Structure formats: structure tokens, C-alpha cells
Amino acid sequence: MKRTATVFLSFLLISISCTKPEPAVSEAISTSLSAEPESTKEFLKENPKVQDEDRTTSISKSRSNAITNAVETASPAIVSITVTELQTGYSRSQDPFFSFFFSRPVQREVQSMGSGFIISSDGHIVTNEHVASESAKTIKISMANGEVHDAELLGSDELADLALLKIKGDRNDFPYIEFADSDEIMVGEWAIAMGNPFGLFADGQPSVTVGVVSATKRDFRPDPNEPRIYMDMIQTDASINRGNSGGPLVNSDGEVIGVNTFIFTGGTSNGFVGLGFAIPSDRVQKIINQLKESGSVSLAFDPGMEFTPMTTQLVYQYGLPRLAGLLVTSVNKDGPAYECGIMPGDIIIRIGEERVASEMHAWALMREYEEGDSMVIQLHRDGKEYETEMTLRKSVAGR
């Protein structure tokens, strides 16, 4: 009898659990489960600040996104750079007759500002060469937390427009930012430009502008009168203005994908029109590593020849054709240039797929190659054009 009752009760419980409750019962159960305990309601009534804090926390979380997270990660490592240089000018004498024939050289201190970012805990800083060059007398950096430090120039490279600074002292706890692989950049991904435009925030948080990567592998020679050649640049529509130079272009992970360097105005104005350019991080690391080791940048190979730009004087003096290129002046018989058939008197027209515009342009093109690579060179000789392939070897210091 006892066993029968147990079986009956078990069956009854199973039947109840499998039977769908009436709507009224379901509603009652739902209401009961969702209702806050009376003790909780009373606690919130007595402590309204707790409810406000929960609501504030919820709103703050909803405002956070990939951009704000990236900015929070990178901001502590962004610095403002103030450089003092000595520039030489000329002043006129008070004597009108004397000042007509002579002028007196005068040196004066000139301050300029730019941006940069810390790349190591011991205070190494990357910026543009046109922000901090060898002519700098003093360099001061201001951090986002308000700290101001003296810095020294470890090395700079005019051709790449990059410079490496070091905060003076033995401190090893500076916040720093990581590099991303610029070969992995996707056109259309977020791009965040950070820095100190117009020197507005010298002692505060860096300015942040947001856009996308508009294009990659853009080549430029912005000023025909200057030797700088910018190759494989990252194009972005994130606003870059004067003072942003040297600051980082950051991805949504808070990593550096490039160094903000210049804007292209198209002749319409002196301000930003949506075309900003940054040196890709892979090239930055390559140059910075050499500056850290030796203070200068060198080729990873020896081409085994010397050359000079074609000029009108050379054309008339030696009866050379009017061609834009480089005149080969000497060839080392033990070098790769001799081995591939290059001779003195040849005119280098192209290196790889690029037409050579100047000597600096040629060095910039050669920097794209490593020891062991093959470099195709197009030459002009005796009224005809030839193409040869040079196998690069032997590392040398210098360039």
C-alpha cells in the first residue's frame, strides 16, 4: 500500500510538471519571479544614490566603443614636443650708407611645436625630422599627465622624415604604445589621428580626430625644392593639422599604424581638406632601429657605383643627351653594378618600376631593397636604352 501511494504521488508530480498552467497562473508565476523583493525596494528608496550610480554606469558603458577604448590605450604615450632652434638672420646698420653695402649676421632663438609618441618604457620617442632635427638647441616634451621633461636627439633622417628622441634620465616606467603591422592595414578601417594641433594642448590631453584609411601605398614628393620622397604612404581623412606632425595614426586596437607627416591641400588652401598622409609603421620601425643603433640610416647593401644628378652643365660639358636621371661616374670592379654590366657614363633612368627624379629619389627607391634581392635598372647608353638586373650584396655604412 505504501509503495502504491509513492508511485501515485510520483505520477501526480510528473503530470503537474508537464501540464501547461492556466494563463492566470502563468502570469502570477511570472510576476512573482520578476518582482523585486520588498527588502530591495525599501533599500533603493532609502538609498537613491545607488540607483543613480547604477544608471550612470550603464550609460557610461553604452558610450564606450572601439574608438574610445583605443584613445584610452594610446593617450598616455602621446607627447607634445617644443623645439628651440638657433636661426641666422641679418640686421641692417643704423648707418644708411653702411647698411646699403653690408649687413650683420644675427642669431635668434625660434620655437616650434609638434607631436610624438613614446615607444618604450625608458622614454624613446618617435617624431618627424622636420619637427626635431640636428639644428635643435633644446627639446622639451609634455606628457598627457602634465609632466614636462627634457629630451635629446639620438638620430634623424631627412630622407625618411623621421627622428628618434630620448627622454633624459634613467626612468624606466614611462607609458608607451605598440606598433601594428602596416602590411595588414585594410582600406576603410578606422584611423585615429592623435597629437597637438596648433600647440593648443601643450600641457594636457592630446587632440583626437577620427576617420578611415582612405588608401595605402601612395608616393609623393610634396616640394620639388626639397629632397624628401615619401613612399608607400597611408592616406586618411582623419583631420591632420599643423602641430599633428610626428603624432601617431592609430588603429581601433590602440596600436600605431603610421606617423602623421603632411597634408595635401590641392592648392585650395593651407588647411586640411580631407587628404592626410602617414608614414607606415613597418618603415618607421626599420628606420628607427637604425637610428637607435648608429644615429644614421644606411643601405643594407653596396650597389658598387657612384652617380650624380643630370644637370644642364653636364649636358653641355660632355655632350650628353637631355635626360632626367643619374649619370654613373664610377663603378667598383668588385661590386654588383660592375657584375651586371653598368659602366661609367651610363645614365640611370629607372630603378624598379619608378622613373628616377633625383639622387635622393634614387636612394629612397634603393631603401626598398634588402641584401640578396634583385633590382632591375634601366639605363641609357649611346642613344639606346638597356635593362639590367643587379643582385644586391655586401652591407656598408653611409646611406
Average pLDDT (240-256) is: 92
pLDDT over threshold 60, residue 305? yes
Q: Percentage of the chain surpassing pLDDT 90?
A: 47
Instruction: Identify the CA nearest to 125 among candidates 19, 228, 24, 259.
Output: 259
Q: Which amino acid is at 240?
A: I
Q: Using 50, 70 and 90 to split pLDDT, how confident is the model at 8?
A: very low
The letter for the amino acid at 335 is G
When comparing pLDDT for 52 and 258, which is higher?
Answer: 258
130-188 pLDDT, tens digit per residue, is 999 888 899 999 998 889 999 999 999 988 899 999 999 999 999 999 999 999 999 99
Polymer length of the chain: 399
Q: Tell me the DSSP string of 294-356.
A: HSS---SS---EEEEE--HHHHHHHT----SSEEEEEE-TTSHHHHTT--TT-EEEEETTEEP
For residue 156, which phi and psi values (nearest 5 degrees)? Answer: -145, 155
**What is the pLDDT at residue 399?**
47
User: Kindly report the CA angle at 291 between 286 and 292, in degrees rounded to 5?
Assistant: 100
Indicate the domain borders of the chain.
16-63, 73-167, 182-294, 305-391
Domain 73-167, CATH among 3.40.50.720, 2.40.10.10, 3.40.50.300, 2.160.10.10? 2.40.10.10
The pLDDT of residue 40 is 56
Mean pLDDT highest for which of 26-40, 59-73, 142-156? 142-156
Distance between CA 8 and CA 303 in Å, rounded? 98
Catalytic residue among 245, 281, 302, 361: 245
The SS3 call for residue 144 is coil
The values of phi and psi at residue 348, to 5°, are: -80, 120
pLDDT at position 243: 83
Q: Is the pLDDT of residue 386 over 90?
A: yes
Higher pLDDT pick, 201 / 122? 122
For residue 58, the one-letter residue type is S
User: Is the pLDDT assigned to residue 323 strictly greater than 70?
Assistant: yes
Over residues 37-53, the pLDDT tens digits come to 556 556 556 666 655 66
CATH superfamily of 305-391: PDZ domain (2.30.42.10)
Residue 288: left if φ>0, alpha if ψ -120 to 50, beta else—which one? alpha
Let me know: does 168 contact 140? Beta carbons within 8 Å.
no
pLDDT given for residue 330 in this prediction: 95
Residue type, position 101, single letter: F
CB 203 within 8 A of CB 304: no
Residues forming beta bridges with residue 193, ordered by sequence position:
209, 249
Percent of the chain with pLDDT over 70: 73
Question: What pLDDT is recorded for position 300?
Answer: 80
pLDDT of residue 18: 41
User: What is the band of 122 on the pLDDT scale with cuts at 50, 70, 90?
Assistant: very high
Say if residue 241's pLDDT is above 90. no
pLDDT band at residue 288 using 50, 70 and 90 as cut-offs = very high
Catalytic residue, from 75, 115, 124, 130: name it.
130
Banded model confidence at residue 57, pLDDT cuts 50, 70, 90: low
Bridge partner list, 116: 79
Residue pair 302/312 in contact (Cβ under 8 Å)? The answer is: no
In the numeric block, which cell numbers belong to residue 329? 661616374
- Whether the per-residue pLDDT at 110 is higher than 60: the answer is yes
Pick the CATH number of 182-294 from 3.40.50.300, 3.40.50.280, 2.40.10.10, 3.40.50.850: 2.40.10.10
Asked if domains 182-294 and 305-391 share a fold, the reply is: no
Active site residue 245: yes
19 vs 140 pLDDT, higher one: 140
Please give the Cα distance from 258 to 250 (Å, whole number). 7
The yes-or-no verdict on residue 96 having pLDDT over 80 is: no
Q: What is the pLDDT of residue 208?
A: 93
* Residue 181 appears among annotated catalytic residues: no
Beta bridge partners of 280: 258
- Is the Cβ–Cβ distance between 194 and 398 less than 8 Å? no
| Three cell numbers written together for 262 | 603632411
Among 80, 156, 161, 281, the active-site one is 161
Q: Per-residue confidence at 54, pLDDT binned at 50, 70, 90? A: low
- Which phi and psi (to 5°) does residue 278 adopt? -130, 145
Q: What is the pLDDT of residue 227?
A: 59
